A and B are shown apart, each in its own frame.
Chain A
């Protein structure tokens, strides 16, 4: 998993140029490590062949956990552990529990999802990551292509130039979990087309 890897980095200053470039790079068979953008570019994930995220499913599971926690706990307290006689009303007073059940559903789901999000994206206060370009959080769309032993860097560089990239350079970074592993996430271009 770890090890020093070489990357070819090209910056684009317009998403209009970026989209066809992503398509061409993938068509040519290069492996896009990632594209770093200053804001969510809609459709870029599809263009890169990334699979859909299922973080919302996680959110649903956390929500169900919240609902069950609230309902089972309150029922246990009020019917089994310490049944209180409140004006002769039923011990199992479901309508009165709806507010807390709802709040816990939302709380579990939101907290769980944000933690999952931070875990999946490896976000935490003191984490150090390799940044390919400082302008990727400002105005550049930075495409990073991973090099293998067989890759001819200069060929990749000139190819990137031909599809409209600027500031092309080669960077060496220690690849680890913080760089992300999208090998399983990303479909190959020919797989997507079905041949």
Chain B
């Protein structure tokens, strides 16, 4: 078991190493370097020299990689070009904001998705299922920039209940954030909940058709007891990995929603730093997002391993 965990962690680290190499090489092979792309038309003479000196671009590439990588390992991503401040200071509040957005969406979305999935499965092809399934399929198919824009149009402009965009500084406090993120959370949860509810539904239906559920019924187990003891633990196990992917997606990938609502999270930072040609920040973001994906998937794998008695004893026996 321990060996397996170490193996998985090792694999995760190798993945991160490869990601860092790819981003570094990617930046390297682009025409020009960080200074020429950043300074653009002023990239000549003394300004360029100063910039190159400041960023240490005058040393060979592999040395710079080693230097950068060892700093990253120590948690130092270097300096942002546009803000001219340590990247850590740029990232800190953004990570926090994204975490707030993600965790609120998760806290609302996942339980809702599970409940909806179970309801639709247990009342399969009856009225509750038909209604909920229609809505979930609908919200799954509408792209998020449309649903987000519609939400702003209806709730913020026509009804005027909530602010349409988030106008707060990126270092706002938790409470300031909370009142501002209702609409983004709704927009994100809609898609996420719909996806997961469909997954839970099909998984529950599959388990309900299994021999052991039929056996439990024929054993005289009352309906709800059967659902909670015999169906749900087996049906929700495969959902863990999907939930993990969703969380990873929430933390880094909700670019469109963040841009539409002007939300100062990691996703928008990706867009900003790319359009500002702030290559050190892009590099840092690539590493951070990759570690989030690797880390969360690792946790999900381990959870599945712990909760599934089949896999657990398999590992012990080995």
Question: Do chains A and B interact in one complex?
Answer: no
